[in-house]
Chain A
Amino acid sequence: MAVEKMQRISLTNLERNFQEVEPGLTTQEAIEESNRCLYCYDAPCIKACPTGIDIPTFINKIASGNLLGSAKTIMSSNPVGASCARVCPTEELCEGACVLNHSTKPIMIGNLQRYATDWAIHNDKTLFEPSESNGRTVAVIGGGPAGLSAARELARFGYAVTIFEAAEKAGGLNTYGIVSFRLPQRISFWEVQQVEKLNVTIKTNTVVGKDLSVKDLLEGFDTVVLAAGMGQVPSLGIDGEDLDGVYDAIEFVKSTKDGGITQDFVGKKVVVIGAGNTAIDGATCSVRLGAENVKILYRRTAEEMTAYDFEYEFAKQDGVEFRWLTAPKQIIGDENGKVTGIQCIKMKLGEQEEDGRRRPVHVEGSEHVIPVDAVIKAIGQTRHFSLIEQLGLDHDGGVVRVDSKTLQTSNPKIFACGDVIFGKGKGEAMVVTAAQQGKDVAYAIHKQFSAVETVN
Chain B
Amino acid sequence: MLRVEGMKIRYGAVQAVHGVDLNVGNGELVTLIGANGAGKSSILAGIAGSIPPAEGQVLLEGQPITGLPADVISRKGIALTPEGRRVFAHLTVGENLHLGGAAFSKGDELRARRDSMLSRFPILADRIDQKAGSLSGGEQQMLAIARSLMSQPDLLLLDEPSLGLAPQTIDKVYELIDDLRKEGLTILLVEQNVELALSVADRGYVVANGRIALSGTASELASSDLVRQAYLAI
* A and B from one complex: no
Which of B's residues lie within 8 Å of A, judged by CB?
Answer: none
